[in-house]
Amino acid sequence: MHLHILGIAGTFMGGIAALAKSLGHRVTGADQNIYPPMSTQLEALGIELIEGWHVAQLDPAPDLVVIGNVMSRGNPLLEEVLNRGLPYVSGPQWLAEHVLAGRWVMAVAGTHGKTTTTSILAFLLDRAGLEPGFLIGGIAGDFGVSARLGRAPFFVVEADEYDTAFFDKRAKFVHYRPRTLILNNLEYDHADIYPDMASIRRQFHHLVRTVPGAGALIVNGGAEELKTTLAMGAWTPVTEFGDRPEFHWSVRPAVPDWSGFDVLEAGTPVASVRWSLLGRHNAENALAAMLAARHAGVPVSQSAALLGAFAGVKRRLEVRGTARGVTVYDDFAHHPTAIALTLAGLRAKVGSARILAVLEPRSNSMKLGAHQAALAGSLAAADRVYLYAPPNLGWDLAAVVAEIGARAATDVSIDALASRIASEARPGDHVLVMSNGAFGGLHALLLERLGAT
């Protein structure tokens, strides 16, 4: 069967393409702004990528069009699909029907930490010899891909709360029917989809409703919104975790940057982890994954020993290079909470060294100004802040800059931004570049300006 995937360059739809290819289908796809790592992953699989939305790509007509949520009415290619009456389906529905059916689905949901936690869980099951399938919203370092079919029964999926498609406004994750569900946290986000906290909370409760009584809910006990969500009804045993011993399962730091931490059950240490990741939030992500792996039969002690070899995830505090003594990092953080947590983790690692934080306010919630009030506070741990002001931002960064003070600067050009940072950076500095997109190639441009050798 020939599947043509619209919005193929997104991490989720790119993963769908990889899974379809593994099932023996002929797969092609279209998108705008196709860039690594997804483009290189798809090309390596022999998947034809088409830039843009010209209707000629539908000749000859594919057997099925798989439509990503980036597509909206008025798009010429989507309109052609509808006018011709071509068969189409959403990515989450295709995944549910053709991959997840009959599998033990292990889903990871929450506002933050989904990609890292999903990657850790897939890694633990794999190293334990269970050969799980997975679909992750990023490139897992240990696998080099974002998706694979694996061997039954286990399939690990990053469960995104964003809407499914132009014709299905439910959250993606309601399609997945997990047996094991991690709920990491819950905050307001996706302001373009959800008008208020109650509406996003309702979608999370729809997900909770799908977990069988014989399954497992693994829940961050410190997340108040998750408590409110579960109070709406839960029919599955709940295991709480967190960073305080009041929770049945908890973590505590062994070193200040959390690259070493202890796992406690009912306040008693049961395992220790030494690994390459930083920050309390990542220790909690790891604990959640260990508890999910435990539900699949992998002891916590075994998981803790395995984590020392975990390679991390692309674009999660990933070092892109060092030039002139300046280290440049790439991170996907784009919500104020994630920005603050990422900075805290890096600060714990580098101590008093200067951190230069660079942010592209690119997400739809950022463009709508939903996070405007919290943005300055989230950048408090940085010594210097550089904000990119794209022409389509929709609001003025001046108030944020004023709140940050003399530490902040803005640029309307990525080229000018790179030049400014390169001229102000000093040996020993750490430049943290944060965006949920490619940021116009800023990382490479900055390393070039710094004089990488």
All domains of the chain, ordered by start, with CATH? 2-90 (3.40.50.720), 102-309 (3.40.1190.10), 318-450 (3.90.190.20)
Residue 149 confidence (pLDDT) above 80: yes
Q: What's the confidence (pLDDT) of residue 432?
A: 93
Of 38-52, 59-73, 292-306, minimum mean pLDDT range: 38-52
Q: What's the confidence (pLDDT) of residue 342?
A: 87
Q: How long is the chain?
A: 453
User: Please, is 305 exposed, middle or buried when counting C-beta atoms within 10 Å of its C-beta (0-12, 13-18, 19+)?
Assistant: middle
Asked if 113 and 147 touch (Cβ cutoff 8 Å), the reply is no
Of 97-101, 264-268, 284-288, 357-361, minimum mean pLDDT range: 357-361
Signed CA dihedral, 14, 19, 24, 25: sign only? negative
pLDDT in tens, 150-188: 999 999 999 999 999 999 999 999 999 999 999 999 988
Tokens of 269: 């240490």
Tokens of 362: 């690119």
CA distance 281 to 81: 43
CA distance 306 to 310: 7
Residue 113 confidence (pLDDT) above 60: yes
Residue 453 confidence (pLDDT) above 50: no
What stretches of 192-348 adopt beta strand conformation (E)? Answer: 216-220, 238-242, 249-253, 260-265, 268-274, 318-323, 326-331
The mean pLDDT value for 319-344 works out to 86
Residue 370 confidence (pLDDT) above 90: no
Give me the percent of the chain exceeding a pLDDT of 70.
99
What's the whole-number average pLDDT of the chain? 91
DSSP string, 267-291: TEEEEEEE-S--SHHHHHHHHHHHH
Q: What's the confidence (pLDDT) of residue 396?
A: 83
pLDDT in tens, 390-434: 888 877 888 888 888 889 888 888 888 989 999 999 999 999 998
Backbone angles phi, psi at 165, to 5 degrees: -170, 175
The mean pLDDT value for 318-329 works out to 89
Q: What's the confidence (pLDDT) of residue 371?
A: 74
